[in-house]
Structure 1
Amino acid sequence: MEALVCRVIGDPTLPLSDSSPIVLSRSHPVPELNSPTAVRVRIYATSLNFANYLQILGKYQEKPPLPFIPGSDYSGIVESVGERVSRFRVGDKVCSMASLGSFAELIVADEKDLYLVPHGCDLVDAGALPVAFGTSHVALVHRAQLKAGQVLLILGAAGGVGLSAVQIGKVCGAVVIAVVRGDEKVKLLQSMGVDYVVDFTKENVIETVRRYLKTRGLKGVDVLYDPVGGKLTKESMKLLNWGAKILVIGFASGEVPVIPANIALVKNWTVHGLYWGSYRIHQPKILEDSLKELLSWLSKGLIKIKISHSYSLSEANLAFAAIKDRKAIGKVMIVLQNNSKPKSKL
C-alpha cells in the first residue's frame, strides 16, 4: 500500500525526495488485523493538524520512534473485520482518530475506537471532524461549560480549530467575537454569522472589542479560546470578566504566553489546559460522547466543515506548507483517490 513515512526529524514542507524527512512509500506493508475486535479501514480522507506538522519537526510533546507514519483523524470504509467485531460490517463508512498512521491507504483500529458516519454525511467532512471539532467541543462544552448569552472570544478564528470553536459557540448560543488576520478571513467569519470580527493587522483588538461590548451593553469576555498564544493572549486578558475561563488550546504563534497568577487570583479566573488527545487515555467516555454529538450535529446541518485545501499523499509537502504559511482558512485535507471496493469479512 501507499504510505507517507517520516524517516528523520525535519521540515515536512521540503519537496518529497530520497533525502527529505518524509517520503512516499508505494510498497509499505498492509497492516494486519491484530485482534479479534480489530477493523481494517481503507482511508478515504485524513486531516492535517498543526500537531502533525510539529511532530515531524520534533517539536510536539509526543515524539514517536522513527520511522513512523504520521496522521491522526481520518474517515474511510471498512474493508475487513475481526471474528468478534459486532458493531461494524464491511462497507460501513466510519471515522476515527489514531495516535499515528492515517497518512496511508489502510489503517487498523479496534472497533471501540471507530464511529459510524451518519447517512448523508460527506466522508471528507467526517475525516476533518474528530480533532478540530472534538477539541473545541470538549473545551467549550465540557470544560468551560459555555452558556447561552455568554461572551466567547476566539483567537485565530479562521484556522481549523478556530472555525470549529466559532460554530460550536453559535450552537451554544454565545455571543461570538472572532480575531483573525486579513480581509478574506474577516469576510468568511462574517458570512458565518459571527457577532463581531476583528482584523488584528488593521485594528487594535482591545479597543475595538471594548467598543463593541459597550454597544451591546456587555461587561466583558466570559470565555477566551486561545490556540495562538504569544502577545495576543496577554493583550486579550484585559478584556476578561471576573470569573472568566481561559482555554489554552495551543501556541500557533510559537510563543508560550505567561498567565499572571496574581491577576487570576484577584479576578477568579479559571485556566483550562486542553490536550484533547490525552482524553483517550484518561476519560475516553467524554471523547465518545463528544464525537457522537458532533456527528449528530453534522448530519443535522448544525455545523459545517470548511475545507480550505485538499491534496493527495504525493503532495503532502504542499499540504504541510499550507499549514506552515498560514494559508489555510479551515481544514487542510489529504484525500486518497484510489479507494477500491471493500473486501470480504475475514
Structure 2
Amino acid sequence: MQAWRVHRNGEPGEVMRLEEVERPVPGEGQVSLLVRAANINFPDALLCRGQYQVRPPLPFTPGVEICGETADGRRVIATPALPYGGLSQYAVADEAALLPAPEALDDAEAAALHIGYQTGWFGLHRRARLKPGETLLVHAAAGGVGSAAVQLGKATGATVIGVVGGQNKARVARELGCDIVIDRRTDDIVAAVKEATGGRGTDVVYDPVGGDAYTKSAKCVAFEGRIVIVGFASGTIPSPALNHALVKNYTIMGLHWGLYNTKDPAAVLRCHEELTELAARGAVKPLISERVPMKGAADAVQRVADGTTTGRVVVLPQGDAG
C-alpha cells in the first residue's frame, strides 16, 4: 500500500515521502481501517517538525483524523494510532474510540467533523458556557478550527465576529455566517470589536492563534468575559498579564480536547451525538475547500502549516471517494 512517511523532522514539504509499505497490523484493541478520507490538521505539520506534544518514533505516517471503513463495511470517524497515521491507504485505530460517520456528511466532511468540531463544542459549551445572545469573537475564522467555532457559535444563537487575514478569507468568513468580519491586515481589531458591541466588548473569545491575537483579545473582552485558549498557530505563546484579568474581571481558560478522551470519554460520545444531530439539520457542515489526491498530501500539509488555506483540506487516498 501507499503511505506518506517522515524519516526526519522538518518542514512537511521537505520531509514527507510517499512510499510503498506493508499494511500496518493492528495491536490488541485496535482495528485496521481503509482510509476513505484524511483531514489535514495543523498538528500534522507540528508532527513533521517534531514540535507536537506526541512524538512518534521515526519513521511515521502523519494524519490525525480520518473517515475510514471497517472490515465489515461500517463508515467511521477515527483518530489513527500513531505511528500509523491517516495519510495512508490503511491505518489502525483504537476500536473503542470509533465513532459512526454521520449520514448527512460525505467522506471528506465526516473526516473533518471530529477534532475541530469537538474542540469547538467543548471550548464554547463545556468551558466558556456560551449562551444565546452573547457575542463570540473567533480568530482565524476562515480556517479549519475557526470555521467550526463560527458554525457552532451561530447554532447556539450567538452574534459571531470573525477575525481573518485578507479579503479572500473575509469573503469565506461571511459565507460561513459571521455577523461581522474584521480583517486584521487592514482593521483595528480592538476598535472594531468595541464599535460592534457598543463599547462593551465580546463575551467569549475563541483563540487558536495566540501571539498578537491574544493581546488584542484581552483589550476587547467584556466584563466577566471568557478567553478560550485553543492553540498557538502563530508560533508565539503569550504570557498573560494576570493583573489585567483581575482588573477587568475576565477569565482565561485552556482547552486541550484530547484530555477528554482519557478523562471523560463519555462526554466525547455525547458531543459526537450532538454534532451528528446538528449536521443532520444542516446547522454545521465542515467547509471543505480542497479535496486532493494522495500525491498532493505533502504540499497540502505544507500549505496548512503556512496558513494559506481556508476551511479544510482533505486527502482522498483511495481516489475520489466522495
Matched, 1:176 2:160: yes
Which 4+ runs in 1 deviate beyond 4 A? none
Letter in structure 2 aligned against 1:301: G
Choose 150-159 or 183-192, whichever is displaced more. 183-192
Q: Is the 8 A contact 2:81 2:94 kept in 1?
A: no
Matched, 1:314 2:295: yes
State which of 110, 124, 127 in structure 2 corresponds to 1:126. 110
Q: 1:301-343 CA deviation, whole Å, 9 max, x = no partner? A: 1101111222223222211222133221101111112599xxx
1:304-343 aligned at under 5 Å gives the runs 304-338=285-319
Q: TM-score, normalised by structure 2?
A: 0.94
- Per the alignment, residue 85 of structure 1 pairs with none
Matched, 1:50 2:34: no
- Per the alignment, residue 17 of structure 1 pairs with none
> What RMSD over aligned residues (CA atoms) do the two structures have, in Å?
1.8
Matched, 1:31 2:12: no
1:10-21 aligned at under 5 Å gives the runs 10-14=10-14, 21=15
CA, structure 1 residues 105+144, in 2 after alignment: closer, same or farther (shift >3 Å)? same
CA drift at 1:221 = 1.0
Secondary structure (helix, strand or coil) at the match of 1:187 reads helix
Matched, 1:147 2:127: no
- Per the alignment, residue 344 of structure 1 pairs with none
- Per the alignment, residue 231 of structure 1 pairs with 212
State which of 44, 60, 67 in structure 1 corresponds to 2:52. 60
Q: 1:126-163 CA deviation, whole Å, 9 max, x = no partner? A: 00111111111111111111100111111111110000
CA separation in 2, counterparts of 1:119 and 1:250?
30
Q: Give the length in aligned residue pairs.
A: 319
CA separation in 1, counterparts of 2:184 and 2:102?
38
Q: Is the 8 A contact 2:38 2:87 kept in 1?
A: yes
CA separation in 2, counterparts of 1:236 and 1:120?
35
CA separation in 2, counterparts of 1:120 and 1:274?
28
- Per the alignment, residue 16 of structure 2 pairs with 22
CA separation in 1, counterparts of 2:144 and 2:108?
14
CA, structure 1 residues 267+73, in 2 after alignment: closer, same or farther (shift >3 Å)? same
Matched, 1:247 2:228: yes
Q: Is the 8 A contact 1:308 1:332 kept in 2?
A: yes
CA separation in 2, counterparts of 1:232 and 1:188?
19
CA separation in 1, counterparts of 2:236 and 2:87?
28
CA, structure 1 residues 316+192, in 2 after alignment: closer, same or farther (shift >3 Å)? closer
Secondary structure (helix, strand or coil) at the match of 1:52 reads helix
Q: 1:74-105 CA deviation, whole Å, 9 max, x = no partner? A: 002212xxxxxxxxxx1111112234311111
- Per the alignment, residue 95 of structure 1 pairs with 77
Q: Is the 8 A contact 1:41 1:107 kept in 2?
A: yes
State which of 101, 106, 129 in structure 1 corresponds to 2:90. 106
Matched, 1:116 2:100: yes
CA separation in 1, counterparts of 2:26 and 2:230?
34
Q: Is the 8 A contact 1:154 1:165 kept in 2?
A: yes
Letter in structure 2 aligned against 1:170: K
CA, structure 1 residues 324+338, in 2 after alignment: closer, same or farther (shift >3 Å)? closer
Q: Is the 8 A contact 2:4 2:19 kept in 1?
A: yes
Secondary structure (helix, strand or coil) at the match of 1:13 reads helix
Q: 1:228-281 CA deviation, whole Å, 9 max, x = no partner? A: 111221122111112111111111111111211112123332221112222222
Secondary structure (helix, strand or coil) at the match of 2:76 reads strand
CA separation in 1, counterparts of 2:165 and 2:81?
31
CA drift at 1:300 = 2.1
Q: Is the 8 A contact 2:81 2:93 kept in 1?
A: no
- Per the alignment, residue 82 of structure 1 pairs with none
CA separation in 2, counterparts of 1:168 and 1:242?
23
Letter in structure 1 aligned against 2:145: V
Q: TM-score, normalised by structure 1?
A: 0.87
CA separation in 2, counterparts of 1:304 and 1:72?
20
Unpaired runs of 5+ in structure 2? none
Choose 92-101 or 120-129, whichever is displaced more. 92-101
Q: Is the 8 A contact 1:46 1:75 kept in 2?
A: yes
CA drift at 1:165 = 0.3
Choose 130-139 or 287-296, whichever is displaced more. 287-296
CA separation in 2, counterparts of 1:181 and 1:92?
40
CA separation in 1, counterparts of 2:27 and 2:216?
50
CA, structure 1 residues 309+322, in 2 after alignment: closer, same or farther (shift >3 Å)? farther
